[in-house]
A and B are shown apart, each in its own frame.
Chain A
């Protein structure tokens, strides 16, 4: 092969040469080739050196310097391929997977490095030979560098060309293994753990509480500063790092620089990721950010520091960074054990690692954000972590997207109760308020929840319940979350005082100045379409009201619930209601709560009037005492007197109360008329509460019931069996109503129902003395028997929907008239027309949705027809 090349290449020059010189050249060249072969394959034998040099000189004389140089490099390359690369790869051939033993790896590297060193020595001989011939006519140093670069290039190209596919993996696993080793040495057990609590430390790891974690990071921090490793361990770790350093250096010299860097970087990142996942876990009650940072300091940075120091990088970087003082280097909060000024390379690494850790933790937390918010008050450390991560990475939009999809998937489904959704919404508001005080992301996240809640019928009711009573209307939810809204009312009390909800302008200059100085620009992610002229108030109540759209609906619902509550009160104790009302007044403005205030005022007035009447009344039926048993004293009688115009519509049903009570009512009304002339009382006999005691021969049972129940049971005093028709006539209610109401007594086991002669006419019989085996278990007169009659879902106050329907019927003839004239109309046209023409008494003030639901009602009553969004008269 060598001969063939030489004969081809030399042909051109041959003509100019004399026979003698040809002879000489051929001889020198053959000698040179032989010497090269011996040199390169001679297994470390440099004895042919002088001979080699003389041949080189011989060839140079004839100007064949480049030829011999190329030949030599070519020979080097081929030898390297044969002796170095193939052998090197053979070491790994046995390992199909990536788990190469450390020893094998070291040996292979060692061998190929030796080979390379030897070849470099040979190359050096050539360089010297050429230099000695030329006597410095070249810039000797440049020449040498050039040759070595060529050699280096050929070495790496040989290796790259023969690279087995799994080699990068092998490198990766090697570094991973070493890192794990290092981590166990450095980050693992701490010196003092060894003596006392080594064995239970492992067990404790999972459920370490906050204190422990802090201690750990503190300890590791201290460890770094004081460098208080036990000597042996320190040496171990030094040896390990030195080994790694050597490996990296060797690999670099073989031309694997970037592959090596990739390998250890990816190993470090993977390891860091695993560590973050490990530390963060599913426990949101502890903050993990600090311990992660501590760990980065303790393990990977130590590793990199040692590595960079070993490779001599830190020194070179040091000199640069001290001059440049790059912004990266000005990171004051970090400590680097062992070195005073961190090298720039290390700072870069630290920033990379921290960013990666933040990002990993952030991603982890974001995917679990739903769960975190579910246990919000407990999980605030996790929220705090997430906040810091996001400040660092700025990937808020990721949070918004992921959280919205989690919400859609998990919360906004038909299976979730409105209460739960509201609670989650409140928690979300609170949690995101921490992360993002300006409320920009909250707006984005809240939107789907609000939209969804608007579609639910019981939303308003749930909100009002949450607002007014502590339990949030859902006994399953623990009290503290239910309290939240009421507490929110309290908490915001002082904030709201200077920033009235109704008017947003501040006449007070000072206040305006304070507001102006508090202004902060919106984050860049803010949607400019959503006006931000007023700084967003992250006000939970405001956002809750925002669900409904207008506070009027909320106030209305509250009024209905308040009425219900007040009418069922048997004492006049309204302290909690007054307090709630005062708080609501602050939020919704005095005028909108006016009616509610009158309702409460009625209760207060009633108490006074009631006392007044009872003190001054002269019971006309004094003689009634002679009637004996059935006489009822005025002492047990109280009344609530309401200003009916200001209360929600009350469903008043006719009822004949028992005679003695009726007598009381008229006496009371008469006295009222005397005191308050010219006002008079109209009794709403079916409303109120009655506390009564059923006295049987062997026992007595107490109940708190509605008047209708009392009227029913009192009829059984004289006559133990009634047919439903007769009983209904006696107490003056319709039969179906009676049948419904009487169920209460049947369910208590006081009355029994049986079919009478007429199948329509049931017979009710008093169960005298048979009830002991029943539900009440005979605990006579004890508190358990004080059963409050449930209304069986029938409230005395008309629900908001019923009221709405009633109010809308006024417009029915308008709508029908309109449709007669115009033929067909779309929803919004009907709405606008009503708004335009029904301006007086009662003015049309309904929303589009309300109108739509009313029209839907008319369609189902077959008065209207709906086709393609147009309403028609049904023909």
Chain B
């Protein structure tokens, strides 16, 4: 007997390859989305700082824009730079 596979439809889930589970700003799961977004994934991406802390892009942008002077990482208080 021989088995011919005509079609194999598999199921997978995606996840952000981050060390943490939740965004340090909005406390929502990375695999979910920030409070302002409706759809996770491409529409609500993560961003890493030079300090290797990850946040929802929208969350950290809001934070950075709200700072008058140089913004700091909300987690480690180092100066915030987007990871290159």
Task: Give residues in A with beta carbon < 8 Å to B.
Answer: 567, 569-570, 594, 597-598, 601, 605, 629, 632, 636-647, 661, 664-665, 668-669, 672-673, 676-685, 687-696, 702, 707, 710, 713-714, 716-717, 720, 766, 768
A717–B1 contact, CB under 8 A? yes
**Contact flag A688-B8 (CB < 8 Å), given A594-B38, A645-B32, A645-B40:** yes
- Chain B residues whose C-beta falls within 8 Å of the C-beta of A646 in the assembled complex: 32, 40
Q: In chain B between 8 and 64, which residues have their CB closer than 8 angstroms to a CB of chain A? A: 8-18, 29, 31-32, 38-42, 46, 48
CB distance from A140 to the nearest CB of B (A): 107
Minimum distance in angstroms from B75 CB to a CB of chain A = 18
Alpha-carbon separation in the docked complex, A713 to B2 (Å): 10
Indicate which residue in B1, B7, B11 contacts A691 across the interface (CB closer than 8 Å): B7
Contacts of B10 in A (CB 8 A): 637-640, 665, 668, 683-685, 687-688, 707
The answer to whether the Cβ of B3 comes within 8 Å of any Cβ in the partner chain is: yes
Which residues of A are found within 8 Å of B38, using beta-carbon distances? 594, 597-598
Contact indicator A638/B7 (Cβ below 8 Å): yes
Chain B residue with the shortest CB-CB distance to A672: B14
With A and B bound together, what is the CA distance between A707 and B8 in angstroms? 8
Chain B contact residues, CB within 8 Å of chain A? 1-18, 29, 31-32, 38-42, 46, 48
Contacts A717-B2, A717-B3; A687 near B8 (Cβ below 8 A): no
Whether the pair B9, A716 counts as a contact (CB closer than 8 A) is: no
By a CB distance below 8 angstroms, the chain B residues around A688 are 8-11
- Contacts A682-B12, A683-B12 given: A661-B41 contact, CB under 8 Å? no
Distance to closest chain B CB from A856 (angstroms): 33
Is there an interface contact between B17 and A629, defined as CB atoms closer than 8 Å? no
CB <8 Å contact, A716 and B1: yes
Given known contacts A639-B12, A707-B10, is B17 in contact with A692 (CB within 8 Å)? no
Give the distance in Å from the alpha carbon of A679 to the alpha carbon of B6 in the complex: 29
Asked if A679 and B1 make an inter-chain contact with CB atoms under 8 angstroms apart, the answer reads no
Q: Which residues of A contact B32 (CB under 8 A)?
A: 643, 645-646
Cα–Cα, bound, A594→B15 (Å): 20
CB-contact partner of A690 in B5, B12, B16, under 8 A: B5
Q: Is the contact region of chain B dominated by helix, strand, or loop, or is it mixed?
A: strand
- Tell me the complex Cα distance, A710–B5, Å: 9
Min Cβ gap A770→B in Å is 12
Q: Is the CB of B12 within 8 A of A629?
A: no
Nearest B residue to A841 by beta-carbon distance?
Answer: B27
Interchain CA distance A632-B37 in the complex, whole Å? 39
| Pairs across A and B, CB under 8 Å, 12 listed | A567-B11, A594-B38, A598-B38, A598-B39, A641-B14, A646-B32, A672-B14, A684-B12, A688-B9, A691-B7, A720-B1, A766-B1
Residues of A with C-beta under 8 A to B8: 632, 636-638, 661, 664, 688, 690-691, 707, 710
Residues from chain A with a CB closer than 8 A to the CB of B46 are 678
Once the chains bind, are A690 and B39 in contact (CB under 8 Å)? no
Residue of B with least CB distance to A716: B1
| Contacting pair A678 B18 (CB below 8 A) | yes
Chain B residues with Cβ below 8 Å from A638 are 7-10
Instruction: Pick the contact of B11: A605, A684, A696 (CB < 8 A).
Output: A684
CA distance A695 to B38 in the complex (A): 48
- In the complex, the chain A residue whose C-beta lies closest to that of B27 is A841
Within 8 Å CB of B40, what residues of A? 598, 643, 645-646
Contacts of B42 in A (CB 8 A): 605, 676
* Interfacial chain A residues near B31, Cβ < 8 Å: 643-645
Do the beta carbons of A680 and B14 come within 8 Å of each other? yes
Query: Known: A639-B10, A640-B10. Contact between A692 and B16, CB under 8 A?
Result: no
Which of A644, A692, A720 is in CB contact (< 8 Å) with B3?
A692
Contacts of B17 in A (CB 8 A): 673, 677-680
- Cα of A632 to Cα of B4 in the assembled complex, Å: 9
Known: A594-B38, A601-B39, A645-B31. A570 touches B7 (CB 8 A): yes
Report which residue of B11, B32, B40 has the largest number of chain A beta carbons within 10 angstroms of its beta carbon.
B11
Query: Would A691 and B6 count as touching, CB distance under 8 A?
Result: yes
Q: How far is the CA of A874 from the CA of B74 in the complex (A)?
A: 48
Contact A692 B6 (CB under 8 A): yes
Given contacts A605-B42, A638-B9, A646-B32, contact A678 B16 (CB under 8 A): yes
Q: Nearest 9 A-B pairs (CB), nearest first?
A: A644-B13, A687-B11, A691-B7, A570-B9, A693-B4, A681-B12, A688-B10, A691-B6, A678-B17
Interface contact B14-A692, CB-CB below 8 Å: no
Residues on B with beta carbons closer than 8 Å to the beta carbon of A717: 1-3
On whether the beta carbons of A679 and B12 are closer than 8 Å, the reply is: no
Inter-chain contact A714/B12, CB cutoff 8 Å: no
Nearest B residue to A571 via CB reads B9
* Cβ contacts under 8 Å, B3 to chain A: 692-695, 710, 713-714, 717
Question: Cβ of A692 and Cβ of B11 under 8 Å apart?
Answer: no
Contact of B2 among A594, A629, A661 (CB under 8 A): A629
Give A629 to B2 CA distance when docked, in angstroms: 9
Query: Provided the pairs A598-B40, A645-B29, A678-B46 are in contact, do residues A693 and B13 lie with their beta carbons within 8 angstroms?
Result: no
Given contacts A678-B18, A678-B46, contact A642 B1 (CB under 8 A): no
CA–CA, A768 and B1, complex, Å: 7
Of the candidates B14, B32, B38, B39, the one having the most CB atoms from chain A within 10 angstroms of its own CB is B14
Q: Is the CB–CB distance between B16 and A679 below 8 Å? A: yes
Residues in chain A near residue B9, CB distance under 8 A:
569-570, 637-640, 688-690
Q: A598-B40, A694-B1 are in contact. Are A681 and B13 (CB under 8 A)?
A: yes
Beyond known contacts A638-B9, A687-B10: 7 more, CB 8 A cutoff:
A597-B38, A605-B41, A679-B14, A684-B12, A695-B3, A695-B4, A707-B10
